[in-house]
Structure formats: C-alpha cells, structure tokens
Amino acid sequence: MAAERGGDIVSEFLSQNPHLANWVESLKAHCETNKQWHARREFILRNIEVFPTIQPGTPSPSLDRLISLSMVWANHVFLGCRYPQPVMDRVNEMAEGIAVKDAPQWKTRDEIMGKAKRPASSEVDAEYQVKKIKPTDADPRPHSRSVGHPVKSGPPPGAITKHQPFFNRLYKAVAWKLVSAGGFGPNLEHFEILRSCVESCKASLNCVFVPLKDIPDLPTGRTQKEGQVCELRCQTVYIGTGYGRDECTARAMASKEALKVFQGHKVTVKVCRRRFRGLDVEDLVLQDDQTRSQVFPPALCYPFQEDQ
C-alpha cells in the first residue's frame, strides 16, 4: 500500500472532507487490490484541484481524464506498462510525493540483455562539478578574504533546472499539508509545517540569524534596532525573511512569509538581484506566479557559499 505516512494523510484528509470519502471509493475498479487502490486513490485526491471543473458525484470529461491518468500511473507502477514519453512525464509529475511501499521493480528488454547504457552527466552538471573542484578567479570566497567583501557573482550554470523539480515536489507537499490543516492562516505553526514538508522531500531548512542592529540595508522606515532577523534557505534557494524580538519569533515570521509563496498555482526558482553588504548580487529566489514589482530584503549570507 502507499507508505504509512501517506496513508495517514489521506485518512486525515478524508476525515476532514467526509463528502469525498464515499465518492472516491466509488472510483475503485473491481480488479484492483487494496494496495493498488490506496496508491491510486492518493493520486486522485492529490490532483483533484488540478481539474477545477470536477464536481464529486457528477460525471465530466475532466473527471474521466483524471481517472485515466491515475490508471496510467497505476499500470506503470504495478504492471510495468509503458506509454508515450509525454504521458509518462505528465503522470510522474502528478505523482510526485506519493510513496509506494514494496513497489514492483520492472526492467526493459535492453536492461535484461545487459545493453542499457549508463546515463552520462550533462555538460551543465560537468561544468558545475569542475567549478566546485577547481575554483577560479570568479570564486567569491578568495576575494572576500583579500579585499573584505565578495565580488559580483551568480548561480552556477543549470542551477534553476537543477532545483525546480525539488520545489515542484515541495509545492505539492505544502499544498497537501495546508489542506489537511484547514488552509493557510495566522494561527498555524508555520515553521513546523514548512520544516515537515521540506523533510518529507528529503531536504532540510537552513536558518541564518543576524541581530537587527547589524544590518546596514534595512528598509527605510524601519527604525527598530532590537531583535533578530532570520533568513530561510532550502537547497541554496532563498525562500523568506522574518523579523522578531528573538530567534524563535523571527524564524516563525520567516516561515510564514515563505508559506505565502506557496499560495499560488505554482512556484518558480528565479535568478533575482539582492543587496548583500552594500553590493548587488544575484541570488536564487523562490517566487509564486503573481506578477508584481518586488523588492527583496537584504541577504544575510552570501548566496551559493557552501559553508554559509
């Protein structure tokens, strides 16, 4: 069946939405085992919001499409069926975050015959690895030791492509968690929700704290000098800043701001300009799909620095 944690979330979701329980059970096929059905049921519930025209209990083309996609994914996982690559890419993206315990392992004919080729690293990844192993004059850390501040630099090549799939998974995990919690609101444990979602995606949050009085680039109008500032990063991507009287409060406010980004229809990793110790630097920033002119808080640590 789906992993125990996934089953708990589904049960919790259905207990809070009892009108969906009987309806979704009616979609089970007669030939499905409980293990297959529990995984496909989670697929359907996780993606029902992708098809806003679906009305539980009412037949519709959108419902037929969702059911068909769920069957494609289940057939691939449990029976080893393969479909055109665009279809496989679609269902695999929709299934991100679903863990299936003891799923069958399938091999292609080439793999069975020993003809499968080992995937080669992309040129972008190779270039990134070279830059990590052999620092060049563009590496900010040697300059920071010699002249007292980093030079202008940017993210490594292919950084957005590298990080976007992770944040697609995190977006689904956060959306699912907020639905289970009754929606986004001021009374949630914002940090705990964000932390648990990040850890469910096999990553961790990085928190950087700086006393408010030590930040030279505070917005004009902020006269308060006591307290702490917290910057949250995940996978080297900036996701939020918060101010508070102590580290705990600042971290909670930063988490609240970060969760606001997940309220749109998707999140996107972008390269944006931020201030760091009086300089403009490029940083990887997580943004929603809303169009707005945005001024980011000053960076508390140099972007992409491994020992930050």
Task: State the Cα torsion 43-47-51-52 to the nearest 10°.
Answer: 130
What domains can you pick out in the chain, each with its CATH number? 4-110 (no CATH), 157-287 (3.30.160.20)
Is a pLDDT exceeding 90 seen at residue 114?
no
Min mean pLDDT across 22-26, 41-45, 113-117, 266-270 is at 113-117
Of the two residues 21 and 237, the one the predictor is more confident about is 237
Is a pLDDT exceeding 60 seen at residue 265?
yes
CB 22 within 8 A of CB 62: no
Mean pLDDT of 168-191: 84
Highest mean pLDDT among 120-124, 125-129, 223-227, 264-268: 264-268
pLDDT at 141: 39
CA distance 160 to 268: 9
Min mean pLDDT across 41-45, 157-161, 179-183, 304-308 is at 304-308
Per-residue confidence band for 111, with pLDDT thresholds at 50, 70 and 90: low
Instruction: Give 160-167's long-range contacts (Cβ < 8 A, gap of 24+).
Output: 160/269, 160/270, 160/271, 160/284, 161/124, 162/125, 162/128, 163/235, 163/236, 163/237, 163/269, 163/284, 164/268, 164/269, 166/201, 166/203, 166/235, 167/235, 167/237, 167/267, 167/268, 167/269, 167/286
Q: What is the pLDDT of residues 56-91, one digit of tens each?
A: 888 888 898 899 899 999 888 888 888 888 888 888
HSE value, Cβ hemisphere, 13 Å, CA-based, for 263: 10
Bridge partners (DSSP) of residue 273 are: 282
Of the two residues 23 and 290, the one the predictor is more confident about is 23
Polymer length in residues for the chain: 308
Which tokens belong to 123? 């040129």
Q: What is the pLDDT of residues 124-162, one digit of tens each?
A: 333 333 333 333 333 343 333 333 444 446 788 888 999
CB 272 within 8 A of CB 286: no
CA distance 26 to 53: 19
CA distance 90 to 69: 8
Mean pLDDT of 225-250: 90
Which tokens belong to 194? 């964000």
pLDDT at 164: 93
CB 308 within 8 A of CB 237: no
CB 260 within 8 A of CB 175: no
Is a pLDDT exceeding 70 seen at residue 233?
yes
Q: Report which DSSP code applies to 228.
A: E
pTM of the model: 0.53
Mean pLDDT of 263-274: 88
